[in-house]
Amino acid sequence: MLDLALFEKSVRRERQRRFRSALWLGALVSGALVAPSIVIVALNGVEGRTRLLLAMVLAPLGTGVLFAALTSVTRLGGSVLQQFLHPSGGASALAPAPVSQAEALAAQGRLDDAIDIFESIRVTHGESAVSLRSEAELMTVGGHHDRARELLQRLRQAGDATRRDELYATHRLIDLYLGPLGDEGRGMVELRRLADRFPGTPDAEGALAELQRRRALRTAIPERG
């Protein structure tokens, strides 16, 4: 399994780094806005030291407004791009596959019946990330590890799979290979994939740390012998 403590430390470091970067950027932008703020205050008839004090207040406020506007524009642009790449309208668009019936059967321990339901869903609705992810989770919990592995691999290749789906599938594959499947070689391959596909993220840092730890253990074992 992955070293969860290392992942938590990586997440904290990443959050601290981003917070420090945001503070520095905010300070730089605020400093750049001081002069324009002085001009604005002066145009409103404020004189003397009061002008500078008001400008010092307006500069960080303007920075906050600017950052909020940029964030809104970025999110809006992402939504527009998502709709362009994955339009929801049109005759070919399909609703999310109905997996609740299969989940209910699995909860009753009827995994074979649940598998049949998922197969019928694929025939009717096609293969989707939603159904693959749900089935993989149920098969993992039910102990059908080989089938879960196959489903997770297909999830990464699904036409509607997102980066989040890929990240989820890779994490679960690592857990399977390093856990019940007992295939450390494939597990290390997936750790390397995680680091390569999501560089600069806490997930990648944790994967690299786990790779380094396991390689060190491999080196240490022959020396002890």
Token code pair at residue 44: 């409103």
Token code pair at residue 34: 């001081």
CB 190 within 8 A of CB 170: yes
- What's the CA dihedral at 181, 200, 77, 160 to 10 degrees? -10
CA atoms within 13 A on the CB side of 216: 6
Helix axes of 129-141 and 100-107: crossing angle, nearest 10 degrees:
0
Return per-residue pLDDT of the chain as tens, 225 residues. Answer: 444 455 455 545 656 666 677 777 777 877 787 777 777 767 777 676 776 777 777 778 777 777 677 666 555 544 444 444 344 333 333 334 467 777 888 778 888 888 888 888 888 878 889 889 988 998 898 888 999 999 999 999 999 999 999 999 999 999 999 999 999 999 999 999 999 999 999 999 999 999 999 888 888 766 555
In the chain, the amino acid numbered 209 is A
pTM of the model: 0.56
Rounded Cα–Cα distance for residues 155 and 166 (Å): 7
Rounded Cα–Cα distance for residues 190 and 192 (Å): 5
> Environment class of residue 152 by beta-carbon count within 10 Å: exposed (0-12), middle (13-18) or buried (19+)?
buried
| Domains present along the chain, CATH in parentheses | 18-73 (no CATH), 100-220 (1.25.40.10)
